[in-house]
Structure 1
């Protein structure tokens, strides 16, 4: 959407506007719809973007220009899919110096943007993020109906680095501004106004305390003289009257405050603790502020021949007491469309287990059900197969080079080898084959065979019914847990009834393997011996109906059992309790913007990668379905977000 050559449009950056409390008939999620691109060159085209996690009906919506007389328009679709776009030609001419306001059918203001002379010729577009980026004037290219180009603008004017960072409606009605730039910004002539359209804008400098400048990296706070209530908004205007930033919130959303997380850059959420004049707290689960539950970014692309995403199945509820995702609310689609088509899985689906390489956090290992292993690396923010290892992944076989392992979970052991679980042999998929296979990633060739293989099938007779569905409910995930964590936390060895002593098991290496059984959500603990035998240490209850991935995270010092939509898209962190047993500690949902799909893989980057208190979290969609046909996520398998360090 943004061409290479750009001129800035005088600080016109808008947010969600809700002039009055939403009427009962207003569609759910309407606050997440944003004006994203427009032109006043004669065609007067407007593009709307839905930054929310659910589709929004815009049937009966209206628009107005600076005359403020709402008028109906004819959109390309009466529904905007999550992460999707809708366009229309304005029934009113848009002028050189004008404004555009979007209303719901009941008259609630959804979004608004103002521009100065010639700033919408040939077009104006948000650059730096659909729905949220800085408004710039494009000089040549427009891309109505598709995502904004990434990486623009290359530089941002100092004034547009100022953001509303926190706001309270608890009586003090405090507004906090944050300057994320490298130079001070004069705001003596800037104004603010709330969501009441009868109110005139008030200068920041006339409010208490009087503020005329914000230092680089600093804060400015003032108390609103307009009064801030429930279902309200704050709009920040520069000296020319252009919208710089805004925030809207629902009932109690700004009590104790509505804050950006991450500080200065993230989306708004309800704060646990108000911190006016300083960095936002951003701890605890908080809640979505102003209807802003994060954005799903990126994606798109055409499905290749044979690529056939599959709709999710088996949706169930989350365990009681589940907490909201503690990391960032934004999520990025982080792979190329139809990236995992293979000779045994041309439909491109079935990417399942994920694991970061602890010795090289720039590497993400991934298992695909129909016997493929991928070494992924980052390229421009996208996880792609490492061409130096194999641009198309490597096939894996059972011991002896036979069969097609139904590869589901994987982990990296202390020796750097990749351990993969299989539920069955896809060449005989009605019979379970619950195994753990050890592969040396340094081995040459395009097909890998196990260094060792451990077969636990006989322990699960309930899976051997002659049904391919039952056979497909075995080892879905696996995590390597270091002996050091087990001993330091006082884990009691179920085999001896005493504190776990690794020396009792001299062939097992330096840790145990926790395999997740999809059948009932239990974890099965094994010592994998170098002579091909194994020691069974019993089971651990996760409190969940199923488990799709297992990981040990050194950052939280917890074992994490992940479940997809079967358990409400949740991650249960397990600890060693005072009695020496491994038990559930806390359960988190996924970020709200993510699809409710068969998200079977989950991995957290090591804490060595932390930036500003966060690190990467990665998910895999087994069905590559996203939000379905026509959505930007359709045909994609990998999602990237953030998790606290």
Structure 2
């Protein structure tokens, strides 16, 4: 919170926990001019004033047409404190978009926010409150209901209003970005079985079930192509420690130190003994030029996990830094108390989370540098199967992705007040994407956010139409 918010003087007029849509505000500010098409469908939908998320205001379009919100203005109770929405920003029908206003003003415990057209005078909506969000002031239902304290921050997605829905989560919402999806690779580059994805600066890592790791670079048109240097032209074959076997690699991730500290893959079996589960996390040094990579370390988790079919094991993997976990009050299931990284000695500086296809469960492990491991979390993805996991640091949420088994459903999970991961949102796949067999998913970083949106990518295990990679967008 900024000093201006912390020192805000008490208001003279009474404050009410109500939203003030455009017509109610018309007597003071007028109604939108004709050029602001669809303005009366845009609503302030969520407000976050405290906690682990910067002061933020979310807008929602409850109408049926896209609305251009370029240069619209958000304020707090002081009309001199303004946040201007970037030029070129639009809000599709049914879309959500959150704006971090903390750099422009702070939202206090007894405060209000207003949304104006680009003229800075014509009010579209407003909301006032008399205490901080705990953790979120949210409209229930989205766009039309009254504000209330919701149990989870859901910026950029459907509010957590406690309604039941398929897969044990909240009611599925429309994809929080464009419904359009395009191919992101050349024709028949990978064939089938491209699975896990992870984006590093300028590089997209891909794990293929046949024991192959790809290093992809940008192709200049929004997609990706194999790196032609360092022996990566056809990907690199992977081996277990000692050089034997062929890992059935399903997921890939990096730690905060990037690929220079090793690339980590999740494997569910040895392809040379495909009838037997071998649920492992493998670490590879990718600095050389050889066409084959032998694992420098294996953490074999098979004995610690419930038995599944040999082709229904580890599908997704992601790494979450210790600082993010401790900052959110993450509870260590092995001790029943707050997670303490110092308890585990030398490790990666974070926890690896793996998803099991056959059960939809997610498990968190501290993987020690020595090769030992400790399970510190077990929780459901909220789906009958999970194919990919991705940690999104900008939103402090864990993505769990299902393939055509679940109609391409995406769940996000956050750490709740009890210190455990629970479902925050459920999203349908983009409306323009068929029900592909997507087993990989990756989000671009904050550095690629333009006009409130950033790219995301999917890997289609079946390579429908000769393409294994597709790209879309999501609100930042």
Runs of 4+ in 1 over 3 A off after TM superposition: 254-257, 260-268, 270-279, 283-287, 316-320
Aligned residues: 348
Unaligned stretches of 5+ residues in structure 2:
1-21, 24-30, 39-60, 71-87, 98-114, 125-137, 144-165
Q: Is the 8 A contact 2:62 2:93 kept in 1?
A: no
Which structure 2 residues correspond to residues 159-238 of structure 1 after superposition, within 5 A?
A: 221=35
Task: Tell me the CA shift for residue 317 of structure 1.
Answer: 7.4
Task: Tell me the CA shift for residue 220 of structure 1.
Answer: 7.2
Cα deviation 1:244-294 (Å, max 9, x = unaligned): xxxxxxxxxx97562247965879525789986679x9x99999xxxxxxx
The equivalent position to 1:410 in structure 2, one of 252, 265, 276, is: 252
For the aligned residue pairs, the C-alpha RMSD in angstroms reads 3.2
Q: Which residue of 2 is the match for residue 90 of structure 1? A: none
Q: What secondary structure, in the 3-state scheme, does the structure 2 residue paired with 1:587 have?
A: strand
Q: Does 1:493 align with 2:307?
A: no
Q: TM-score, normalised to structure 1's length?
A: 0.50
Cα deviation 1:83-127 (Å, max 9, x = unaligned): xxxxxxxxxxxxxxxxxxxxxxxxxxxxxxxxxxxxxxxxxxxxx
Q: What secondary structure, in the 3-state scheme, does the structure 2 residue paired with 1:486 have?
A: helix
Q: TM-score, normalised to structure 2's length?
A: 0.67
Q: What secondary structure, in the 3-state scheme, does the structure 2 residue paired with 1:484 have?
A: helix
User: Which has the bigger relative contact order, CA under 8 A and spacing at least 6?
Assistant: 2
The equivalent position to 2:175 in structure 1, one of 320, 325, 335, is: 325
- Rounded to whole Å, the distance in 2 between the matches of 1:454 and 1:418 is 14
The equivalent position to 1:373 in structure 2, one of 194, 213, 221, is: 213
Q: Is the 8 A contact 2:240 2:246 kept in 1?
A: yes
Distance change in 2, residues 1:597/1:535 (3 Å): same
Unaligned stretches of 5+ residues in structure 1:
1-169, 172-207, 210-218, 225-253, 288-315, 341-347, 464-469, 626-633
Q: What secondary structure, in the 3-state scheme, does the structure 1 residue paired with 2:324 have?
A: helix
Q: Is the 8 A contact 2:455 2:472 kept in 1?
A: yes
Cα deviation 1:194-253 (Å, max 9, x = unaligned): xxxxxxxxxxxxxx99xxxxxxxxx971899xxxxxxxxxxxxxxxxxxxxxxxxxxxxx
- Rounded to whole Å, the distance in 2 between the matches of 1:365 and 1:461 is 29
Q: What secondary structure, in the 3-state scheme, does the structure 1 residue paired with 2:325 have?
A: helix
Moved more, 517-526 or 318-327: 318-327
Q: Which residue of 2 is the match for residue 356 of structure 1? A: 199
The equivalent position to 1:484 in structure 2, one of 315, 318, 323, is: 323
Structure ID, larger Rg: 1
Task: Tell me the CA shift for residue 557 of structure 1.
Answer: 0.7
- Rounded to whole Å, the distance in 1 between the matches of 2:382 and 2:210 is 29
Task: Tell me the CA shift for residue 380 of structure 1.
Answer: 2.2
Q: Which residue of 1 is the match for residue 389 of structure 2? A: 550
Q: Which residue of 1 is the match for residue 186 of structure 2? A: 336
- Rounded to whole Å, the distance in 2 between the matches of 1:259 and 1:355 is 31
- Rounded to whole Å, the distance in 2 between the matches of 1:611 and 1:275 is 22
Distance change in 2, residues 1:578/1:387 (3 Å): same
Q: Is the 8 A contact 1:475 1:517 kept in 2?
A: yes
Distance change in 2, residues 1:278/1:539 (3 Å): farther
The equivalent position to 2:241 in structure 1, one of 375, 390, 399, is: 399
Q: Is the 8 A contact 1:318 1:569 kept in 2?
A: no
Q: Is the 8 A contact 1:272 1:286 kept in 2?
A: no
Q: Which residue of 2 is the match for residue 506 of structure 1? A: 345
Moved more, 371-380 or 268-277: 268-277
- Rounded to whole Å, the distance in 2 between the matches of 1:278 and 1:570 is 40
Q: Which residue of 1 is the match for residue 302 of structure 2? A: 457
Q: Which residue of 2 is the match for residue 76 of structure 1? A: none
Q: Is the 8 A contact 1:481 1:511 kept in 2?
A: yes
Q: Is the 8 A contact 1:261 1:328 kept in 2?
A: no
Distance change in 2, residues 1:380/1:595 (3 Å): same
